[in-house]
């Protein structure tokens, strides 16, 4: 016997699929649609649902003049909302919730919370629907070490989001990382970019014309002003991101990358290329291969190459070769130094200096 909750959600999904006349849907189409939602039942159960349980409580019409039978509601049947989502939509809400927090305005997330709650309750109630269990089987993992997200004050994020939505200026107290001090700034917000563990407000400082980045977690105080924000002429957030906004002050050039790579890296690049024009060439007398590709001349690519360590020998571009050689020399010099002793710290309870260990 099917679980009562599974049966309830199957009935709601079934009623949602039946159109109002003159449109109609066949029994076989209903069965196929419900099976795609991973409800476990057979055609005879569907026939009993339609002709029995549901026909008693809902004004279902059945056209028996042709087979398979066709089902519809009368054309004057009032439209009504069902207190449940279809299973794929519920699954989408559950999977999307954790990813939208850094991208959606808090005011919009608040409006969506009833949908998120309904989706969680519905998937939890379905015992025999494998689609409902999908969220327990999948995870998304970053490529590389994932740092914990920088904490952003919800009230500050809400003010920033409101300013973006309403095109208003912001007055902020911002902690400058380079100077180590707090500055008062009047900003014209342009957009928000979530990058790895940090979210950035892209804005123009009042009195200037260039867009700059402000880490949301370093905004210590914020006031959304009534004054209208000035639009940056020609600003496009995609052009800003792709044009080097996070890696260099101007548009990013493209360069030819040439490197010798170890077998495991060659295998990786054969499956996930660096660029559409990438080529891998076997090297005589070794299992290593030479890779050639046109890539962006940006810090992110250089950091990725540097992280490959002894599995890569870079040949071009020459400025990257020099940068890697310099970093390796600096790292070797650093590790050649003797270890420093831990600094003593004051114990706030005892009021004396003590070793942290």
pLDDT tens digits, one per residue of 158-167: 899 889 888 9
User: Is pLDDT larger for residue 286 or for residue 99?
Assistant: 286
Q: Which pLDDT score, from 0 to 100, does residue 330 have?
A: 94
- Please, what CATH class does the domain formed by 154-242 belong to? mainly beta
Classified as helix, coil or strand, 213 is strand
| Spatial CA neighbour of 190 closest among 111, 110, 245 | 245
Dihedral angle of Cα 249, 253, 254, 257, to the nearest 10 degrees: -60
Question: Do 200 and 192 form a contact (C-beta atoms < 8 A)?
Answer: yes
Residues forming CATH 2.30.30 domain(s) in the chain = 154-242
d(CA 232, CA 227): 15
Task: Find out whether 27 and 50 touch, Cβ atoms under 8 Å.
Answer: yes
DSSP 226: E
Q: The CATH number of 254-336 is which of 3.40.50.2020, 3.30.70.120, 3.40.50.300, 2.120.10.80?
A: 3.30.70.120
In this prediction the pTM is 0.59
Contact (Cβ atoms closer than 8 angstroms) between residue 199 and residue 192: yes
Torsion sign, CA atoms 301, 303, 307, 310: positive
All CATH 3.30.70.120 domain ranges of the chain, comma separated, are 254-336
CB 312 within 8 A of CB 264: no
CA 1 to chain centre: 40
162: which 2 tokens?
Answer: 């409101």
**Per-residue pLDDT tens digits for 239-280:** 887 765 565 555 678 899 999 999 999 999 999 999 999 999
* Contact predicate 127/39, CB 8 Å: no
pLDDT of residue 355: 39
Which residue matches tokens 């795609």?
Answer: 36
Check if the beta carbon of residue 237 is closer than 8 Å to that of residue 245. Answer: no
């Amino acid at each position: 016997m099917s679980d009562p909750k599974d049966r309830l959600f199957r009935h709601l999904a079934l009623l949602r699929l039946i159109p109002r006349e003159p449109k109609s849907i066949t029994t076989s189409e209903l069965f196929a649609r419900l099976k795609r939602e991973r409800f476990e039942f057979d055609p005879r159960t569907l026939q009993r649902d339609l002709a029995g349980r549901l026909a008693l409580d809902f004004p279902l019409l059945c056209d028996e003049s042709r087979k398979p039978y066709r089902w519809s509601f009368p054309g004057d049947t009032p439209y009504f909302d069902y207190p449940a989502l279809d299973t794929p939509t519920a699954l989408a809400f559950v999977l999307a919730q954790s990813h939208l927090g850094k991208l959606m305005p808090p005011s919009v997330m608040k409006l969506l919370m009833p949908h998120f709650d309904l989706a969680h309750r519905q998937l939890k109630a379905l015992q025999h629907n494998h689609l409902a269990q999908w969220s327990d089987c999948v995870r998304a993992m970053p490529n590389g070490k994932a740092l914990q997200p920088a904490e952003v004050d919800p009230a500050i994020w809400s003010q920033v989001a409101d300013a973006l939505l309403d095109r208003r200026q912001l007055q902020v107290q911002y902690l400058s990382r380079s100077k180590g001090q707090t500055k008062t700034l009047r900003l014209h917000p342009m957009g928000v970019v979530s990058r790895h563990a940090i979210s950035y407000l892209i804005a123009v400082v009042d009195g200037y014309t260039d867009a700059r980045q402000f880490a949301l977690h370093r905004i210590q105080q914020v006031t959304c002003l009534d004054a209208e924000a000035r639009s940056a002429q020609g600003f496009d957030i995609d052009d800003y991101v792709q044009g080097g906004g996070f890696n260099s002050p101007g548009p990013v050039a493209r360069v030819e990358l040439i490197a010798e790579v170890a077998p495991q890296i060659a295998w990786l690049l054969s499956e996930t290329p660096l660029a559409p024009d990438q080529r891998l060439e076997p090297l005589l007398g070794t299992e290593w291969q030479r890779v050639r590709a046109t890539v962006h001349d940006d810090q992110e690519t250089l950091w990725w190459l540097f992280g490959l360590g002894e599995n890569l020998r870079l040949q071009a571009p020459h400025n990257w070769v020099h940068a890697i050689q310099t970093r390796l020399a600096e790292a070797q010099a650093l590790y050649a130094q003797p270890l420093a002793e831990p600094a003593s710290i004051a114990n706030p309870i005892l009021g004396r200096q003590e070793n942290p260990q």
